Amino acid sequence: MQDEVAAIRHANKVRLARVIGATNDIRVDPRALFDVQIKRIHEYKRQLLNLLETIALYDAIRADPDADWVPRVKIFGGKAAATYRQAKLIIRLANDVANVVNNEPAIRDLLKVVFMPNYNVSLAEVIIPAADLSEQISTAGMEASGTGNMKLALNGALTIGTLDGANVEIRERVGRDDIFIFGLQAEEVRDLNRRGYDSSGVIAASPALKWVMEALADGTFSPDDRGRYTPIVDALFHHDRFMLTADFDSYYETQRRVDAVWRDPAAWWASSIRNTAHMAWFSSDRSIREYAAEIWNVPVTPPAPEG
C-alpha cells in the first residue's frame, strides 16, 4: 500500500514539476521533498518565517554541500491585498531568494525555491495532491480556523505547524506522532506581548538567524537595491508582533526532524497514510450534520445502512 501511495504522489509531483517548468522556467526534481505553503499572503500567516528558514538552509548547504542534505523544493503560492505593502515585499523577497538560491552552483538540486504566480483554485488542484509537507505556521492564537491545512492533510501531506487554528484539531485526529508541531503556544504569545517582546536579544543569540538578518540587510538577495528589505529587517528587530524571531530556532530544528523522517520512506508513507485515514472527521457530511443538530436545530436523518 505504501508503494502504491508513493507512486501516486510521485505522478502528481511530476505533473506539478511540469507546471513549474512551464510557468516559472525552473526545473525541479520530483524525487525531492515538496514543501508547500499556499495561502493568502499575510504577516500572521508567516510566509516570512518560511523564507527566513529557507535562507538559513541555503547558507548551511552552501557551507557544507557534501553533507547528507534532504533535497527540497520550497513552493509558495498566494496573493496579497492591493494596498498591503509588507505582504507585497514578502512576495518580492520570495522571488529574490528563488533567483539567488536556484542559480547558486554549490546548491545544485539540494534546494529549489518557487513562487507560483497567479495562485488560484485550478493551481491548488495541481499543488495539493503533490505536496509532501504542508506549512501551517501562523502565529499561535491568530488563525481563526483554516481549511487549507485540512485539504493538504487529507491528501496525505504531513503538517508542520503551530498549535493554531485547525492544526489543534488535526493533531487530535492524526495523533502527536504524525504532525510536526513547533513554537510558542497562544498563551505564551499573549504573555510575551503583554511583557513587551525584545527580539534583538533573540536574534543575537541565534547564529543562523543573525546571519539571515545580515544577509537581508546587506543586499545579498537584492544586489540591485541593497536597501529593499530594510522594512522587513526593521520590523523584525523592533516590532516583531508575529513572533517570527521567537519561533525561528524551534521551526528550523523541527524542519530537520522532517528531514529525518523523510530519510525513512516506510515511516514517512505510514504517517502519510494515517493522515489521510484520520481526516474523515473533517468531512462536510459530518460538519453539516453537526451544524443541523446543534446550531440550526433542524431534523437530521441518519444515512441509511448499506445493503
Residue 307: predicted pLDDT: 64
Q: Is residue 223 part of a domain?
A: no
Residue 301: predicted pLDDT: 76
pTM for the whole structure: 0.94
Higher-pLDDT residue of 75, 291: 75
Strands of the sheet containing 180-181, edge to edge, are: 111-116, 72-77, 33-38, 133-136, 158-161, 180-181
Residues 6+ apart with CB under 8 A from 104: 58, 62
What residues pair up with 37 in beta bridges, in sequence order? 76
- Mean pLDDT, rounded, of the chain: 95
How many percent of the chain have pLDDT more than 90?
A: 89
Q: Is residue 49 part of a domain?
A: yes
Alpha-carbon distances, residue 227 vs 63, 219, 222, 224, 232 (angstroms): 25, 7, 8, 9, 10
Domain of residue 126 covers 2-186+245-296
Q: Is residue 80 part of a domain?
A: yes
Residue 302 has pLDDT above 80, yes or no: no
Please work out, in degrees rounded to the nearest 5, the angle formed at the alpha carbon of residue 229 by the alpha carbons of 101 and 140: 85
Q: Into how many domains does the chain fold?
A: 1
Sign of the alpha-carbon dihedral angle for 227, 229, 233, 238: positive
Q: Is residue 232 part of a domain?
A: no
| CATH code of the domain in which 148 resides | 3.40.50.2000
pLDDT in tens, 153-205: 999 999 999 998 889 999 999 999 999 999 999 999 999 999 999 999 999 99
Q: Is residue 276 part of a domain?
A: yes
Residue 135 has pLDDT above 80, yes or no: yes
Q: Is residue 254 part of a domain?
A: yes
Q: Is residue 83 part of a domain?
A: yes
What residues pair up with 272 in beta bridges, in sequence order? none
**Which residue in 126, 170, 156, 180 sits closest to 6, CA to CA?**
156
Q: Is residue 157 part of a domain?
A: yes
Distance CA 51, CA 215 (A): 12
